[in-house]
A and B are shown apart, each in its own frame.
Chain A
Amino acid sequence: MQALAQYLIQTFGLPVPLSVLSPLLGFMGGVVVLTAIAVQAMYLIWLERKVAAHMQDRLGPMLVGGWHGWAQSLADGIKLLLKEDIVPAAADRPLFLLAPLVVFVGSFAAFVCLPFGDRVIISDLNVGIFYIIAVTSFVVIGIIMAGWGSNNKWALFGAMRSAAQIVSYEIPVGLSLLAAVMAAGSLSMQEIVAAQDGGIHRWFAFRNPFLFVAFVIYFLASLSEVNRTPFDIPEAESELVAGYHTEYSGMRFSFFFLAEYANMFAVAAIAATLFLGGWQAPWGGGAPIFGVIWVIAKAHFLVFVQMWLRWTLPRLRVDQLMYIGWKVLTPFAFACIVGTGAWMLVFKQG
């Protein structure tokens, strides 16, 4: 944003000082990202319904808006907006109202660091990927707030389960990302993408077998972070009705929903950036416009795989889920780090 502000001042000779234009542009960038997330989430919801339908031998939305019901999410969004705002009488009002916002902020803040092109990034932090991991922990607090604020025994237990699940799986996420960071030599997102320049064989996922395993571990652990099947116990456990967002309706519920799909896309984009070359084309390099298309295409492919898994696999029980997180994914992630380090030492290249 700093560079963009400088460029604009010099080219158009704006009388605005840098210190005001830079944060202003950052703010506008935030608004753009917010709008993009909302539209993106609506599109992904429509896509999910279509993918689910075709896997289940039926058609899905077909009527609203004409061609394959593309306006279905729009109609649902409008419906949710117009619903009555119900706050349970016994609920803890401040926490109940604040929870959806905290969850959404946690998801939204991760988009600041995602690179969509050569210099298309809101803010290229030096600790980019580390910042993303840190800021997604806000989501857990929001979930606990929602569970408590609902004043509902089952919502509380759902929130606790969800929090325990997310916190446990943060470890394999961090460790597998660490393997990729080792190969790149930097925490900055743009530098990580630049380290994968040169073609599809230079992408981290295909560079060495340990990093490929790390990619798989990251993908599975991130499935748990976003509460998707087979790890969707907090949402669909039979005795918990709808888990921590049982008591939410209307616009507040749509915040949770939006945050979930934003999160799905964010973790897919992170995987695409760290393991699949980001905005690079498979033959190396990438013009600014096409870079955006490449990264979004890769992220969408991973989102499609997430949806595919949801409609195919049954759900894991809580203790099985914890077992997989602690006793399977974490040791393998450690092994990947050691393996990647050894590979880098032996082969003298990333």
Chain B
Amino acid sequence: MAQVEIVDTADVKTQEMVLNMGPQHPSTHGVLRLEIGTDGEIVRWVRPHIGYLHRCFEKHAENLTYPQVIPFTDRMDYMASMNNNLGYVLGVERLMDIQVPERVEYIRVIVCELNRIASHLISFGTYGLDIGAFTPFLFAFRERERIFDMFEMTCGARMLYNYIWVGGVSHDLPDGFIEAATAFVDDFEKSIDEYNGILSGNKIFIERTANVGILPADMAINYNVTGPNLRGSGVKWDLRRDEPYSIYDRFEFDIPVGRGEMGTVGDCWDRYMVRIWEMEQSRRIVKQALQQIPKGNVHAAIPKQVRPPKGECYFRTETPKGELGVYVISDGTTKAYRVKVKSPCFVALSVLPELCKGAMIADVVAIIGSIDIVLGEVDR
């Protein structure tokens, strides 16, 4: 009987192929260029190229007065503009040692948490779109429209607000806002159940996202990943609870973390579910704030001229994307000497090459969607 010789597959020469995803691409959540080195279907390395959306925010901040910088902060993470405003303004207020009225604090919490819901809705909707489910995107936009209507009622703008000012807010809440917001939070509970029904529990969606793009907790901490990405890996760290700013310590809310229910702790499904759970928690916060909000004059503490004393301040807040750090150096004039922003999306993008190692090409899209980056904040 002749010996059967199995041809050594090392003789077959295969080439490593370099794919280019972007800069224009339906699934990269902005202008991002990814160089992907693949061997057949498996990804060997990923090299992100950023900077396509760089608009010199930090340079502008040196040439404008402090209030003039606030519209520029809107445009960093344009999905969660209120939270960006808040981060910058709190830094300046700390420098100037301003105490804002109670009503202002409550208003700020309400709009920031509503904006968190809006940002997570986008993340949920576009993630469904990346995986191939078209309908959740439109369901998400239905709720976003209601939030935008409320914001338009308040400050006149739907997406980029310039609302939170140094020492207060630009406009007081109009008549009808409290009613609209209460109606929204009551209806939103059913909406979250709808989202879980159509996407989170869907077998195909789970197959595409569970055990994909696993981010271990220690790697997340080493890379300084924060926000839902960190909590998805099981680490219970939220600045609103662990280093409370504003009046977050007055509200009762949970910090959801990923538990590896469908796959491993820290996979795409966990990160996605953490955002869904966070929407529920934000809803709770808004509901409590709407019940507790006092009366007052929102313009009482706004200084005539924003001229912080010489000094520096690093203030960090929890935005929907993670920990936003704003470092302000004041030289005593009306314009800042230096404003540096630490962007959570930039850090999340830096861990992408690690997550994609050994994944399939189709999984790269799922992984990018799960870390929820906004290129406006990555590039500033």
Contacts and interface: CB of A to CB of B under 8 A. Distances in A.
A166 B362 CA distance: 19
Interface in A50-75: 52, 55-58
Given A57-B142, A239-B21, A317 B134 contact: no
B142 to A, nearest CB: 6
A230 B21 CA distance: 23
B361 A314 contact: no
Contact of A320 (B19, B26, B27, B207): B207
Most B CB within 10 A of own CB, among A239, A318, A320 = A239
A237 interface: yes
B174 interface: no
Nearest to A53: B138
Contacts of B363: 317
Given A237-B362, A238-B27, A238-B130, A55 B204 contact: no
Interface size class, chain A = 20 to 34
Contacts of A232: 132
Contacts of B207: 316-317, 320
A233 B139 CA distance: 23
B205 A314 contact: yes
B198 A315 contact: no
Nearest to A55: B135
A315 B204 contact: yes
B222 interface: no
A236 B365 CA distance: 12
A148 B208 CA distance: 29
A80 B370 CA distance: 37
Given A238-B26, A239-B21, A314 B133 contact: yes
A319 B361 CA distance: 11
B360 interface: yes
B133 A239 contact: no
B134 A311 contact: yes
A313 B133 contact: yes
Contacts of A318: 41, 360, 362
A318 B27 CA distance: 18
B204 A316 contact: yes
Contact of B360 (A230, A238, A319): A319
A3 B270 CA distance: 66
Contact of B204 (A56, A236, A313): A313
A312 interface: yes
A228 to B, nearest CB: 11
B19 A239 contact: yes
A56 B128 contact: no
B132 A56 contact: no
Nearest to B206: A314
Nearest to B17: A153
Interface string B355-370: 0000011110100000
Interface string A297-326: 000000000000011111111111000000
B202 interface: yes
B129 to A, nearest CB: 9
A312 B132 contact: no
Most B CB within 10 A of own CB, among A56, A229, A311, A317 = A317
B139 A314 contact: no
Interface in A207-254: 229-230, 232-233, 236-239
B208 A56 contact: no
A328 to B, nearest CB: 13
Contact of A230 (B25, B26, B132): B132
A56 B133 contact: no
Contacts, number: 68
Interface residues of B, number: 28
Contacts of B128: 314
Interface in B123-149: 128, 130-135, 138-139, 142
A316 B133 CA distance: 10
Nearest to A315: B132
B199 interface: yes
A333 B128 CA distance: 32
A319 B27 CA distance: 20
Contacts of B27: 238
Contact of A56 (B26, B130, B134, B360): B134
Nearest to B368: A238
Nearest to A232: B132
A237 B131 CA distance: 9
Most A CB within 10 A of own CB, among B41, B132, B205, B207 = B132
A314 B19 contact: no
A313 B26 CA distance: 19
Contacts of B41: 318-319
A312 B208 contact: no
A318 B207 CA distance: 12
Contacts of B26: 238
Nearest to A229: B132
Contacts of A52: 134
Contacts of A317: 207-208, 360, 362-363
A232 B134 CA distance: 13
A296 B131 CA distance: 33
A314 B208 contact: yes
B132 A57 contact: no
Interface string B191-228: 00000001100101101100000000000000000000
Given A237-B362, A238-B26, A239-B19, A315 B142 contact: no
Contact of A311 (B135, B142, B361, B365): B135
Contacts of B199: 314
Nearest to B142: A57
Nearest to A52: B134
A230 B362 CA distance: 14
A56 B131 contact: no
A224 B207 CA distance: 18
A230 B204 contact: yes
Given A315-B132, A316-B207, A317-B363, 11 more contacts: A229-B132, A312-B135, A313-B202, A314-B202, A314-B204, A314-B208, A315-B204, A316-B204, A317-B360, A318-B41, A318-B360
25 contacts: A52-B134, A55-B135, A56-B134, A56-B135, A56-B138, A56-B139, A57-B142, A230-B204, A238-B27, A238-B362, A238-B365, A239-B361, A312-B135, A313-B132, A314-B128, A314-B202, A314-B205, A315-B132, A316-B204, A316-B207, A317-B360, A317-B362, A317-B363, A318-B362, A319-B41
Q: A-B pairs with the 4 shortest C-beta distances?
A: A315-B132, A56-B138, A314-B133, A314-B131
Interface of A: 52, 55-58, 229-230, 232-233, 236-239, 310-320
